[in-house]
């Protein structure tokens, strides 16, 4: 029996596994890097062991350090979570050599499925339909997809549409895969555009029983990484569903699978499908399966590791569940990750929230920017989708740019409601572009709340020349907006159309045409959060500051320079790649804003940069 479990992971999944440990009477042990020293998953464990360093290669990817941590803490088992070393056969072997129980499939199975190339061949031999493999060096069939053989999560993946793009796409995929998984092997396969990503959750014991626990629709993706997942799929019909289950079960038996895992497929409109991979671990989106089947997959992982036998048949599913991943990132700016302090994190009751953060958490640059998973269940798909959209819309996420608004617009899109989803959904419907927003009501609410927060013994808005209005400037999404208002005996006057009903420190009520709207307001220094909008207060009298040279390209985020693509004296067009930054485990291209001549390049590969650092200067032609 397992009594003390080391969770070889961090953030949301570490907290989620620890929660089950508490429920079944197992003592959870956490590990943490230096940036994670104050993280919730550390405080909530019974014992926590430091992994000195910050980067994943120094900490969560060090097999020796993790095994040593387990032994030092007196753990008798290890749960890998997902990501990091969760699909690393050598880690599983090292755990077992140390005399500890490995909560997962046998190392040989992990190894067999760890190479997507080898896995596809094995599945083809077992009669599971697969896509043909293309050689990255000689491929002639386009469009195609370059994929990392050793990992997933969208890392090490590139879409290639022409032969000229192939070499650089392969090189970039190899770099990203090496950084994320320690293995730069990549391969290519035909790109099935607008196909669906459908996967089957499997659970298998050591006695030969395999459950197929429904299919999950995971087609809403960005950068080949899922952001909305649901079960059951709105597209899969009953006959195809049974074929999917049969294929997943056949795959599990073919490799002698034990534990929780996922068999992933590409699914087409004609109800056909092709094998993608077997994930030999728990998936990020496992909560939707738990909600529909009424079980705890982590509890079953622990029980199976102890030798428990599954019942002959799985539970009967009921209703519909859907999950959205909240990320600290800006979809409108090429999914640029955000780092900093998350001042407030609150999601309304009525939904499940699996998170790695809380009020005051610091989101750093070393790890994936996912903040939380929000999961809703309903009797019908429409009910579950509406519940999730409403919860996200009302969530208070202060201090960081997030993808919340994109998630809400996606969930409320007519095509999504109709179940017409595929892997190109966001691009097809232009959902990554930030819609036009009338920011003036929110800015007025911010100005009035700021005045209340600064109230002194003098009357609010008092000034020597009362006929002159108060003016407050704000910046929103790179644009400035100025608000004017006056205090009179009759109250606050801002415009003939808008009436100020009430102004307080943390909320403002405005009315227009008899309709009142309450704006919740939170102030953090020069940042004011109004509903879902974040405004920056502009100083009335800006202090003289050094100006960035005209034509300078600055770092949009902290990160590491992995490639410099231009040199001084080179002519570039607008949109030319200047260099590539790696941040939060993904590569981000930095492009020239205008055409001209590269006057100066100030960084080299390997350089660490902060947001705002000048990277290069392009002078106009």
Instruction: For residue 455, give both structure tokens.
Output: 């109230």
Instruction: For residue 465, give both structure tokens.
Output: 């020349």
Active site residues: 597
Q: What is the mean pLDDT of residues 133-139?
A: 83
- C-alpha 145/C-alpha 147 separation (Å) is 6
Helix, strand, coil % over all residues of the chain, rounded to 5: 25, 35, 40
Per DSSP, what are the bridge partners of residue 345? Answer: 397
Domain topology for 4-103: Rossmann fold (3.40.50)
- C-alpha 147/C-alpha 169 separation (Å) is 10
Alpha helix (H) ranges present in 318-439?
381-394, 404-411, 414-417, 425-428
Alpha helix (H) ranges present in 98-188?
107-114, 116-125, 163-181
Beta strands in 185-333 (DSSP E): 186-190, 196-204, 210-222, 225-231, 259-267, 273-279, 320-327, 329-330
- C-alpha 449/C-alpha 520 separation (Å) is 9
Cβ atoms of 10 and 367 closer than 8 Å:
yes
The percent of residues in the chain predicted with pLDDT above 70, rounded, is 95
Q: What is the CATH number of domain 132-190?
A: 3.30.1490.20
pLDDT at residue 310 in the model: 98
- Which DSSP state fits 160? E
Lowest mean pLDDT among 339-343, 471-475, 556-560, 605-609: 556-560
- Domain positions in the chain are 4-103, 132-190, 196-428, 440-538, 552-619
pLDDT band at 135 (very low <50, low <70, confident <90, very high): confident
pLDDT at residue 457 in the model: 42
Question: May I ask the CATH class of domain 196-428?
Answer: alpha beta
State residue 495 phi and psi, 5-degree precision: -165, 160
- C-alpha 395/C-alpha 451 separation (Å) is 25
pLDDT at residue 463 in the model: 52
- C-alpha 513/C-alpha 528 separation (Å) is 26
* Nearest C-alpha neighbor of 119 from the set 152, 145, 79, 153: 152
Query: Which CATH entry fits the domain spanning 552-619: 2.40.50.100, 2.130.10.10, 1.10.357.20, 2.10.25.10?
Result: 2.40.50.100
Lowest mean pLDDT among 21-35, 79-93, 300-314, 468-482: 468-482
* Nearest C-alpha neighbor of 572 from the set 586, 592, 553: 592
Q: What is the CATH number of domain 440-538?
A: 3.30.700.40
> pLDDT tens-digit profile of 89-111?
999 999 999 999 999 999 999 99
pLDDT at residue 41 in the model: 98
Burial tier of 496 (Cβ tally within 10 Å: 0-12, 13-18, 19+): exposed
Could you tell me the sign of the dihedral formed by the alpha carbons of 606, 611, 614, 618, in that order?
positive
- Which DSSP state fits 55? S
Q: Establish whether the linkage from the previous residue to 143 is cis, with ω within 30° of 0.
A: yes
- C-alpha 508/C-alpha 233 separation (Å) is 42
Question: pLDDT averaged over the chain?
Answer: 92
């Amino acid at each position: 029996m397992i009594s003390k479990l080391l969770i070889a992971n961090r953030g949301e999944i570490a907290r989620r596994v620890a929660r089950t440990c508490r429920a079944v009477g197992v003592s959870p042990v956490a590990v943490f890097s230096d940036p994670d020293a104050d993280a919730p998953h550390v405080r909530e464990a019974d014992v926590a062991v430091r992994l000195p360093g910050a980067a994943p290669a120094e900490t969560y990817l060090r097999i020796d350090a993790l095994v040593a941590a387990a032994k030092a803490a007196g753990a008798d088992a290890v749960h890998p979570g997902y990501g990091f070393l969760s699909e690393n056969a050598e880690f599983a072997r090292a755990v077992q050599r140390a005399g500890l129980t490995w909560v997962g499939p046998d190392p040989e199975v992990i190894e067999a499925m760890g190479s997507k190339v080898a896995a596809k061949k094995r599945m083809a031999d077992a009669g599971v339909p697969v896509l043909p493999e293309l050689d990255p060096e000689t491929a002639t069939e386009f469009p195609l997809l370059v994929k990392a053989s050793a990992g997933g999560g969208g890392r090490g993946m590139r879409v290639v549409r022409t032969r000229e793009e192939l070499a650089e796409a392969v090189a970039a995929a190899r770099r990203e895969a090496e950084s994320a998984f320690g293995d730069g092997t990549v391969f290519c396969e035909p790109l099935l555009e607008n196909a669906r990503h459908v996967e089957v959750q499997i659970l298998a014991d050591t006695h030969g029983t395999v459950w197929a626990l429904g299919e999950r629709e995971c087609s809403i993706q960005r950068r080949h990484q899922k952001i909305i997942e649901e079960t059951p799929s709105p597209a899969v019909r009953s006959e195809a569903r049974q074929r999917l289950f049969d294929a997943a079960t056949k795959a599990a038996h073919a490799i002698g699978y034990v534990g929780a895992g996922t068999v992933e497929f590409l699914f087409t409109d004609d109800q056909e499908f092709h094998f993608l991979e077997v994930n030999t671990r728990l998936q990020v989106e496992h909560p939707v399966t738990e909600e529909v089947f009424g079980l705890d997959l982590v509890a079953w992982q622990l029980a199976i590791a102890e030798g428990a036998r599954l019942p002959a048949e799985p539970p009967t599913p009921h209703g519909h569940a859907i999950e959205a991943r909240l990320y600290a990132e800006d979809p409108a700016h090429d999914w640029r990750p955000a780092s900093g302090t998350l001042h407030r994190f609150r999601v309304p009751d009525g939904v499940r929230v699996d998170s790695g953060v809380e009020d005051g958490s610091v989101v750093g640059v070393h790890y994936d920017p996912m903040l939380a998973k929000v999961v809703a269940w309903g009797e019908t798909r429409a009910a579950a989708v509406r519940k999730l959209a409403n919860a996200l819309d009302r969530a208070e996420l202060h201090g960081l740019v997030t993808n919340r608004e994109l998630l809400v617009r996606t969930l409320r899109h007519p095509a999504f409601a109709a179940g017409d989803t595929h892997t190109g959904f966001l691009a097809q419907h232009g959902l990554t572009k930030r819609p036009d927003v009338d920011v003036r009501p929110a800015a007025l609410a911010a100005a009035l709340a700021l005045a209340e927060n600064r109230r002194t013994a003098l009357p609010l808005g008092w000034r020597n020349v009362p006929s002159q209005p108060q003016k407050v400037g704000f910046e929103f999404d790179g644009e400035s907006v100025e608000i004017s208002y006056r205090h009179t005996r009759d109250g606050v006057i801002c415009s003939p159309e808008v009436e100020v009903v009430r102004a307080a420190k943390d909320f403002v009520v405005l009315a227009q045409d008899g309709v009142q709207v309450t704006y919740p307001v939170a102030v953090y220094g020069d940042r004011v959060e109004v509903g879902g909008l974040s405004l920056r207060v502009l100083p009335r009298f800006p202090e003289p500051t050094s100006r960035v040279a005209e034509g300078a390209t600055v770092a949009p985020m902290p990160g590491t320079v992995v490639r410099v693509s231009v040199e001084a004296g080179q002519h570039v067009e607008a949109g030319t790649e200047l260099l590539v930054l790696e941040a939060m485990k993904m590569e981000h291209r930095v492009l020239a804003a205008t055409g001209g001549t590269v006057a100066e390049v100030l960084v080299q590969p390997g350089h660490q940069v902060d947001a705002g650092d000048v990277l290069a200067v392009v002078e106009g032609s």
